[in-house]
Chain A
Amino acid sequence: MLPKSQRRAYVRYNKGSKAIKFYNVATKNVLTARNYHFLNPVDPTPPEELAINMPRLENGGPIQCEGGENPPCKGGEEEGNTWKVIPKKRTASDLDLDIDLEEPQKTRGVRPDYKYMNDPFPDEEEARIIDVQEKAFAVIHDDDCNNLRKAKVSPEWPEWKQAIETELDQLKCMGTWKLVEKPPGVIPITNKFVFAKKRDKEGKLQKYKARLVAKGCAQCPGYDFLEMHSPVIRVETIRLLLAVAAKRKLYIHQIDIKGAYLNSILKEKVYMKQPEGYDDGTGCICLLIKTLYGLKQAGREWNHEFDSKMRKHRYACLQSDPCIYMWHIGEDFAIIAVWVDDLLIFATTINL
Chain B
Amino acid sequence: MNILGIIAIPIFGYLITNSIWQKKPVLENLAYGYLLGWPIFTIVLFIAHLLGLRFGLWESSLLLLILVFLTLILRIVLKIPLTIKKKSRGKNNFTQLEYLLIILISFLLATSLLSDIYRVVSEWDALTLYDFRAQRFAQFGGMREAMLAQGSYFNSYPLHTSLVHMWYYLLGFLSPMTYYGGIFVSFVITFYYSARRVSSRIISLLAALMLILSPHLFWHSQIAYTNLPYTISLVMGTILIIEWVKNDKISDLAVGALLTGVSVWIRHPEPFWMTNILIVLGVSLYKRRFHPIILYLILFLPFERIWKLFVANINRTVVSQPLADISGGIITVANLSTIPILLSVVEFLVRNVFRPFIPVFIIYFCVIIWKLVKKDKFWLTELIILLNLGLLVSGTLLFALTQPYWQEIPGSLERIAIIFAPLILYSFVDAAGKIKIRQQLV
| Chain B binds chain A | no
